[in-house]
Amino acid sequence: MTEISTTTDRPARPPVVDWESWQSARDELLAREKEHTRAGDALAAARRRLPMVEIDPGLQVTGADGPVPLIDLFQGRDELVVYQHMWHDGEPFERQCPGCTINTWHIQQSAPYLAARGVSFAMLTEGPWDEVAPYLEFMGYTEPWYSVRGLDAPVGVDMGHIVCFLRDGDRVFLTYRTTGRGNEPASGIFGLLDMTPYGRGEAWEDMPEGWPAGKDSCWYWATDADGNATWGKTRRAVPQWTRPGATRVVPGRGHEHDH
């Protein structure tokens, strides 16, 4: 590979080469990417072969129209995907979970495609409905949300996961749930950032010598009104700044509510 001399203000950057050298290196990586894709296909095949556990189809969840049984979330379809959204009781919008926000903001756009495939989608949250409802209006979420306050595992506790269910007539079964970073496929931002030269900018990433130092995990999920990443008292989950009526968060003067 022949590197071409160039100048840059960047402290570190990939080497600059001619097109043929780049294509050769790209082809080598492509072979590894295809192996990774096939390994993912094999995992998906194994996932489809997992056993399942029966869930009470009459469990009552609370939505915009009041209590409904869990089986109604299928909307007559045989498969259901839900995201379990964490909730901090009594906290203003900007103090709700940025991690759940990043997943929810991405996955909400998937509902029409899931429905076209015959899969329903719903959001479950442990928050009380009277707090959740104004939050949904502020965020502009239109997919069905339900409070599972008071329900036991695996539906009503241990939030922050994607869960898949299967309906067989009047019976409901849990077939799969994510753990840890298993939520990442639902949030396209991670895959896109992994394609960029500087990645996610997180400290755990394997970076070349001299690359910008990584920061704490998830550092860019929340910012202040000026766009500076922060988990401090001036933060909002990033998508909230795009919402009509979003106000600057000012420490020491209480939270400036948006409703």
Cβ atoms 178, 162 nearer than 8 A? yes
Output the six-digit token pair for 244: 């009509």
Which pLDDT does position 145 carry in this prediction? 98
pLDDT of residue 150: 94
Domains of the chain from N-terminus onward: 53-183 (3.40.30.10)
Q: What is the three-class DSSP state of 253?
A: coil
Asked if 172 and 70 touch (Cβ cutoff 8 Å), the reply is yes
Residue 1, pLDDT score: 58
Q: Which pLDDT does position 46 carry in this prediction?
A: 98
Residues 162 and 177: their CA atoms lie apart, in Å, by: 6
pTM listed for this prediction: 0.90
> First vs last Cα of the chain: how many Å apart?
59
Tens digits of pLDDT across the chain (259 residues) = 555 555 556 668 999 999 999 999 999 999 999 999 999 999 999 999 999 999 999 999 999 999 999 999 999 999 999 999 999 999 999 999 999 999 999 998 899 999 999 999 999 999 999 999 999 999 999 999 999 999 998 899 889 999 999 999 999 999 999 998 999 999 999 999 999 999 999 999 999 999 999 999 999 999 999 999 999 999 999 999 999 999 999 986 444 445 4
- Quote the CA–CA distance of 69 and 9 in Å, as a whole number: 60
Antiparallel, parallel or unpaired: β 171-177 and 79-85: unpaired
